Amino acid sequence: MDGVQRKKAVLSVAFRYLDTYRELLQEEGERNNSFPKELYLSAVEQLRRYPELVEDVLKLQRWTEILNCPCDEEKETRKKQVRPLFRHFRRIDACLQPREAFRGSDEIFCRVYTPDHSYVTIRSRLSCRVGEILALVREKLQYSEDQPVQPGNLILVAVTSAGEKAVFRPSDEAVFTTLGVNTHLFACEPSELDSLLPLPEEIHWSPGDSKLHDMSAEEVANQLVAFDWELFSCVHEVEFMCYVFHGEQARWRPLNLELVLQRCSEVQHWVATEILQCQSLPKRIQLLRKFIKISALCKQQQDLLSFLAVVLGLDNPAVNRLRLTWEGLPGKFKKQFQQFESIADPSRNHKSYRDLITSLRPPLIPFTPLLLKDLTFLHESCKTFHGELVNFEKMHKVAEMVRTIRRYRSSQLAMDTETSPSHLQTKAYVRQLQVIDNQNLLFEMSCKLEPKDT
């Protein structure tokens, strides 16, 4: 290979990189995009010696312009939009809109609570640092009628429904998508940290009939699959790498991937919540049947994320111990659920699940937590560098896993476009699941339904 061919090969790889990460690089603008500019200047210097590179140099010049000057119209449109995270708002019109990929520059509204459970609503970029969030909160509190005292030195804390607390550092970024299902942000002074309690609605529950009784399993399953596909389609391939390889030091936060993981946890807790809130034994058995049918339909439509999330929700210890409920289940459903449990069985490195997913053709939605587990194992079991040399064997394995993810989405999932009132109600319900994620509370509810001595 002569000099021109080698240089063309290098530029070809660079163009592939720029094309793959275009949106992410474009978002950064001039801040971190020195690589294409330096490559362009270097290529210009080589033109006199290698005039054959002129077309590649012009192409590279166009790339530097594209990355540093994103489309003004698109930039203005995104700036005006305030994007809803699916657990932060209850607006029906917002949740019915098709999901779009989040970028760090997107703005959202978010509630930040104080120790007395009053709150301020702030408008912030997703990638905003904690220090900036606290500055916005402090400004709001200064003008609040409910806050006569000037706010002092504030810290930002995530409080779960179980009362667990995590204090963020001022330099932490993009904390909104890292919050758990029923986790809320609190701003308080350091001396008030121990007094923080979960919101009352997170630690109290009201028994009652579920809306799910009035919905068909087919419609609920269809909406689960449609929403999962929207969320999974928003995840850029690089987010998987950032999540596993870089952790907190990632150049790009895996915002959309974190939302997929939240959704998986949410569906699991939704299953347990619906069953444990149902006081009537016959209706509880009906719900059990419906959830098994929903999981079967998700599997049939190749949504392994919701399929396994529902199965794991039914396997929750608080649900699994309901002996009278399970005994009332027809044998056909018991047998079917046992088959589903075998697919969720982690023995022999999840062999049953791997056999299933290998047999499927795209489009399909994988069980994302296991995908990340595989990537993490690959990363931690193989060194990235041997001395000053790159471990290309590891890179090839990583590339193969990325190609697998790409293959899952290589064809488009057929989406239902029905707009009847009942259809929209089910769609809104599935996209705004009300769940209890406090395992102690779920177990307490379970024991009230079927005491330990029954």
Please identify, among 44, 75, 106, the residue that sits at the C-terminal boundary of a domain.
75
Q: What is the pLDDT of residue 89?
A: 44
The rounded distance, in Å, linking the Cα atoms of 373 and 394 is 16
Q: Does one domain contain both 243 and 260?
A: yes
Domain assignment of residue 81, yes or no = no
Q: Does one domain contain both 119 and 241?
A: no
Q: What is the pLDDT of residue 150?
A: 57
29 or 48, higher pLDDT? 48
Q: Does one domain contain both 392 and 281?
A: yes
Domain assignment of residue 320, yes or no = yes
Q: Does one domain contain both 53 and 100?
A: no
Q: Is the pLDDT of residue 244 over 60?
A: yes
Q: Does one domain contain both 164 and 259?
A: no
Q: Does one domain contain both 99 and 157?
A: yes
Note whether 252 and 223 are within 8 A (CB): no
User: Among 367, 223, 360, 233, which Cα is nearest to 297's?
Assistant: 223
Domain assignment of residue 87, yes or no = no
Confidence of residue 248 (pLDDT cuts 50, 70, 90): very low
The rounded distance, in Å, linking the Cα atoms of 136 and 95 is 26
Domain assignment of residue 17, yes or no = yes
Please identify, among 75, 109, 125, the residue that sits at the C-terminal boundary of a domain.
75
Q: Does one domain contain both 189 and 320?
A: no
Domain assignment of residue 179, yes or no = yes
Domain assignment of residue 100, yes or no = yes
At 421, the amino acid letter reads P
The rounded distance, in Å, linking the Cα atoms of 193 and 190 is 5
Q: Does one domain contain both 289 and 358?
A: yes
Note whether 65 and 26 are within 8 A (CB): no
Q: Is the pLDDT of residue 368 over 60?
A: yes
- CATH number of the domain enclosing 173: 3.10.20.90
Q: Domain span at residue 387?
A: 211-449
User: Among 280, 314, 278, which Cα is nearest to 206's?
Assistant: 278
* Domains of the chain: total: 3
Note whether 155 and 193 are within 8 A (CB): yes
Q: Is the pLDDT of residue 203 over 90?
A: no
User: Among 331, 320, 291, which Cα is nearest to 449's?
Assistant: 320
Arithmetic mean of pLDDT, 262-279: 96
Q: Does one domain contain both 266 and 373?
A: yes
Domain assignment of residue 80, yes or no = no
Most confident of 39-43, 204-208, 220-224: 220-224
Reading across the β-sheet that carries 107-113, which strands appear in turn? 119-125, 107-113, 184-188, 155-159, 165-167
297 or 108, higher pLDDT? 297
Q: What is the pLDDT of residue 281?
A: 96
Q: Residue 369, preceding bond cis, omega within 30 degrees?
A: no
Note whether 190 and 259 are within 8 A (CB): no
Q: What is the pLDDT of residue 65?
A: 85
Domain assignment of residue 82, yes or no = no
pLDDT digits (tens, 9 = 90+) for 22-37: 877 776 655 556 788 8
User: Among 252, 260, 266, 261, which Cα is nearest to 234's?
Assistant: 260
- Cα angle at 328 between 453 and 208, to 5 degrees? 75
